[in-house]
Amino acid sequence: MSGQSLIRILVLHGPNLNLLGMREPEIYGSATLEELDAQLVVQARSVGAELQTVQSNHEGELVDAVHSAALWGARGAVVNAAAYTHTSIALRDALAGVGLPFVEVHLSNVHSREPFRHRSLLAEHAVGVIQGFGADSYRLGLLGLASYLRAS
Ligand code: CA2
């Protein structure tokens, strides 16, 4: 893309996603988080976006990352909050509070897993939710978000 400024997008990864590619590949795939982020950065360029990627195992750091992204000028976020999806009012309030449009993504189909994973505290505020496609969930989420942001 040329002639247009890059849209800034935050990609937020929650707890334990730093283990991607090292454990439980049958559920979460074999790509490492570093590889996944590198592919997303390339894909982002092709849709006129630049990314800030953040992974943390700590709830407060994820909240801080949302606030920082808003200050950086992020127009939206792709969020896999991992286990905090199901528990974190703080992260929900942060995303709603800064008014950042976001797509919730999951590697696995959480609805085919344990009941405690069926509830998301974030989804109500999300532009959309994509799950079950492994690393492609992030790629599809990024595409959908970029298209949503260009149109709005
Ligand atoms: O499917 C997803 O993307 C999840 O957000 C992953 C979370 C889980 O708590 C959610 O219910 C669904 C768990 C992330 C753990 O990541 C690991 C990666 C590799 C090895 C072990 C854990």
Going by C-beta distance under 8 Å and a sequence separation of 6 or more, which residues neighbour residue 19?
none
Q: Is 28 a known active-site residue?
A: yes
Whole-prediction pTM value? Answer: 0.96
Q: Give 46-75 pLDDT, tens digit per residue.
A: 999 999 999 999 999 999 999 999 999 999
Q: Is 106 a known active-site residue?
A: yes
Going by C-beta distance under 8 Å and a sequence separation of 6 or more, which residues neighbour residue 22?
32
Q: Which residues line ligand 1 (CB under 6 A)?
A: 16-17, 19-20, 23-24, 28, 80, 82-83, 85, 106-108, 110, 117
pLDDT at 3: 60
Instruction: Locate 97 and state its tokens.
Output: 């509070």
Q: Give 67-119 pLDDT, tens digit per residue.
A: 999 999 999 999 999 999 999 999 999 999 999 999 999 999 999 999 999 99
3-state secondary structure of 145: helix
Residue nearest atom 7 in ligand 1 by C-alpha distance: 82
Burial 30-60 (b: 16+ CB within 10 A, else e): ebebeebbeebeebbeebbbebbbbbbbebe
